[in-house]
Homo-oligomer: A and B are copies of this chain.
Amino acid sequence: MERIPILQMGDVLLVTIQVDMHDQLALTLQDDLAERIRATSARGVLIEISALDIVDSFIGRMIATISALAAVMDARTVVVGMQPAVAITLVELGLNLTGVSTALDVERGMRLLRQAGAGVE
C-alpha cells in the first residue's frame, strides 16, 4: 500500500495523510497529485492531516512543495484538520506553512476553495 489515495470530489482533490511519510512516499504523492490535477482539471487540493500528531520540517516541506506545485498548475491548496497540539507547536517553534492556506476541517476547506472558484458541484 505504498501509495496515498487521492480522492476526487468535483474539482477538488482530497488527500488524507495517515501514515508516516518518508522520502519515496512523498515523491510518489507529489507525482500522483500533479498527474491527477492535470487529468481532472482540479482547481483545489485539500490535504487532511488530523491523523498527524507531529508536523516536522519534512512534512512541512512536503506540504509547501505540493502547494507550490498545485499553484503552478492553477490549483489552490488548503491544509485541513490540524490537531490543536500541532498548531501550538508550529506557533511555538515559529514555523509557518508559508504560502499555504489552512482551514479547520474538510467542510470549511471545501468552502474556502469554493469561494476561490472550485467546488464539489
Contact = CB atoms under 8 A, between A and B. Distances in A.
A51 B8 contact: no
Assembly stoichiometry (copies): 2
Interface string A6-22: 01111000101011100
A8 B48 CA distance: 12
Nearest to A7: B106
Nearest to A52: B1
A53 B1 contact: yes
Interface string A70-87: 000000000001000000
Contact of A5 (B16, B20, B107): B16
A50 interface: yes
B19 A16 contact: no
A50 B7 CA distance: 9
